[in-house]
Structure formats: C-alpha cells, structure tokens
Amino acid sequence: MLPQDWIEHRRAGDRELVGWLRPEGDGFVAVDRLGRAVTDVVDWDVAEEALEERGLHWLADLWQLRVEDGRWLRVRMVEVSPERVVVKMDDFGAVDAEMRTWTLPFPAPDSLRPYAGDPFTI
C-alpha cells in the first residue's frame, strides 16, 4: 500500500508516473516504481531530477527472482503498481511457452533484483 505522504512525480511529456517523492526531515527521497529509494535525503529538485534520469526503461530489462527453493530465475515485469508487482518467468519471446508468474508485494522485496548474469546466455 502506498503511504499517503508520498508525492507522485510524472514525466512532463506524457504524464506517465515515474516514481514518488517521499518527504523525510527537511528534504525528500526519490522512490522508483518498485517502491525503492533512488536517492538519500536531497532537495526537491534533485529528487525530481533523479527520477527523470531513471525513467521507466529499466523496468523492461531482465530481472532475477529468488524463488522458494533458493534458485534464482530470470524474470520479466508484467505489472508494477502500488498494490503489487507481478513478474513472469522469462520465456525468451516464445509465444507457446507456459506463463509462470509470481505476485510480489509493493514495495518489491529484495528477492527481486536486476539480472546479474549474461543476458545472452540461456
């Protein structure tokens, strides 16, 4: 659930949500779409700039998820919202692959990380 004091930050051109500004002390922390801090406590304009720089493209990258048995699996984002984060097993673009998904809480847990392996190796 999204805290009530978080302030939405949207891109100027298309008004797409890129993150939030979380008030903290005399400053703000930039928070990305996964609910993770992008900056330490900074001024408003620095937090906004950090979210603009980060953008949304990184959500389309490969990710890895630690599953119940301790294995790390390659996954891709399906849905990112303040209610939940849904990822699916990377199917390498196969249209006939079974779609295995995991629904994670928001903010996304540490078991979801940017992919650390070689993205060109299956």
pLDDT tens per residue, range 57-104: 999 999 999 999 999 999 999 999 999 999 999 987 666 677 899 999
- Long-range CB contacts (within 8 A, 24+) of 33-41: 33/59, 33/80, 34/80, 34/85, 34/106, 34/107, 34/108, 34/112, 35/82, 35/106, 35/107, 35/108, 36/107, 36/108
Q: Helix, strand, or coil here: 14?
A: coil
**What pTM did the predictor assign?**
0.89
Question: Do 65 and 107 reside in the same domain of the chain?
Answer: yes
Q: Give 39-55 pLDDT, tens digit per residue.
A: 999 999 999 999 999 99
**Residue 118 structure tokens:** 């070689």
Question: Do 12 and 48 reside in the same domain of the chain?
Answer: yes
Question: Do 17 and 50 reside in the same domain of the chain?
Answer: yes
Question: Do 80 and 50 reside in the same domain of the chain?
Answer: no
Domain boundary among 19, 41, 56: 56
Question: Do 23 and 40 reside in the same domain of the chain?
Answer: yes
Does residue 122 sit within a domain? no
Domain carrying residue 104: 61-114
Does residue 121 sit within a domain? no
Does residue 78 sit within a domain? yes
Unique residue bearing structure tokens 């699916």: 88
Does residue 1 sit within a domain? no
d(CA 26, CA 43): 8
Give the highest mean pLDDT range of 10-14, 80-84, 117-121.
80-84
Q: Give 15-41 pLDDT, tens digit per residue.
A: 999 999 999 999 999 999 999 999 999
In the chain, the number of structural domains is: 2
Contact 32, 17 (CB under 8 A): no
